Amino acid sequence: MKLRRVGEDALIASLVRELPASRKLIGDDCAVVEFRGAKNLLVLKTDCVVEKIHFRSSTNPELVGWKAMMRSLSDFAAVSAVPQFALITLVLPAAKSTSWVQKLYRGLKRAASRFDVAIVGGETSATRGPAVISVSVSGFVEKNRWISRRGGKNGDDLFVTGRLGGSLRAKHLRFVPRINESRWLTRNFRVHAMMDLSDGLGADLPRLVKASKLGFKIDKGSLPLAPGAKIDNAISDGEDYELLFAIPPRERRRLEKAWRRKFPKLPLTRIGSLLHPSSFNLQPLRRGYLHFQ
């Protein structure tokens, strides 16, 4: 069967099923593993952008570089980890100009230095096809601050940062991953589950809910909309790179108050809660079973 008939999720799922049962900890957004003799966990993430798939040939290459780096860093925000080192692989057609590559690299470097990430190496290759930029980042997270998608509890409040929808109009090339916000959250609050929103709330929320083996209830009217976005955009557009997290309701008031002081320009919105599936009469949540009330 050709790949065009199989979705990316299905391909990943089939490959992961074949992985040998691992002794290592593995997160959903990043790999989170033990490093010999270290107190902190080692966090690893790779991501790539492909010309004509993730960006147009005419897109400003500095913004392409920025996005290529920030996509991986957003996954560090998802698990509350600190990124430190990046390796960059550039697969480039001979027809690209050196000034295109220099601008691309400037974007990669600007994005890395925004979070004090050192670019420590990489690789370049020719190709007869479109450009591919792959970025691998490593860093650390304290054992007691690593957050996965799996820890959500019945009754937890669901929060999102920022505003959702319409990212493809410009934000997706200029976004700043919520690393500072994520680190602040785990320093000060008992966050049960967290992820970053890359495929849109409608695809990502069910992943967190399923990983936590729960159901959810969302107030669509409460969704924080980006300027010009409608509710459907907030659910389906994707590439928001905001945080979605679950936190016990007893933390709600302290969180909302402290957030406004710490991040006055960034909205924080309670959009619903995690619930035991039986409490609203649904079958166990499964893929494709998206239920927004």
Give the nearest distance from C-beta 24 to a copy of itself in angstroms: 5
Give the nearest distance from C-beta 159 to a copy of itself in angstroms: 26
Rounded to the nearest 5 degrees, what angle is found at the Cα of 216, between the Cα atoms of 214 and 220? 165
Residue keyed to tokens 């065009």: 4
CB nearer to a copy of itself: give 129 or 267: 129
d(CA 164, CA 200): 8
CB nearer to a copy of itself: give 127 or 154: 127
CB nearer to a copy of itself: give 114 or 262: 114
Give the nearest distance from C-beta 149 to a copy of itself in angstroms: 14
Specify the 3-state DSSP secondary structure of 85. Answer: strand
The DSSP secondary structure of 224-276, one letter per residue, reads -BPTT--HHHHHHS-----EEEEE-GGGHHHHHHHHHHH-TTS-EEEEEEEE-
Asked if 50 contacts 130 with a C-beta cutoff of 8 angstroms, the reply is: yes
Give the nearest distance from C-beta 110 to a copy of itself in angstroms: 11
CB nearer to a copy of itself: give 168 or 278: 168
| Cα dihedral value 32, 37, 39, 45, nearest 10 | -20
The token pair that represents 68 in the structure block: 């290529």
Specify the 3-state DSSP secondary structure of 32. Answer: strand
Give the nearest distance from C-beta 179 to a copy of itself in angstroms: 16
CB nearer to a copy of itself: give 54 or 210: 54
CB nearer to a copy of itself: give 18 or 281: 18
Strand 268-275 versus strand 193-196 pairing type: unpaired
Quickly count: other Cβ atoms within 10 Å of residue 56's Cβ: 10
Q: What does the DSSP 8-state code read for residue 116?
A: T
d(CA 119, CA 121): 6
Give the nearest distance from C-beta 216 to a copy of itself in angstroms: 26
CB nearer to a copy of itself: give 238 or 272: 238
Distances (CA, A) of 37 to 34, 77, 81, 138, 199: 9, 25, 19, 17, 36
Give the nearest distance from C-beta 120 to a copy of itself in angstroms: 4
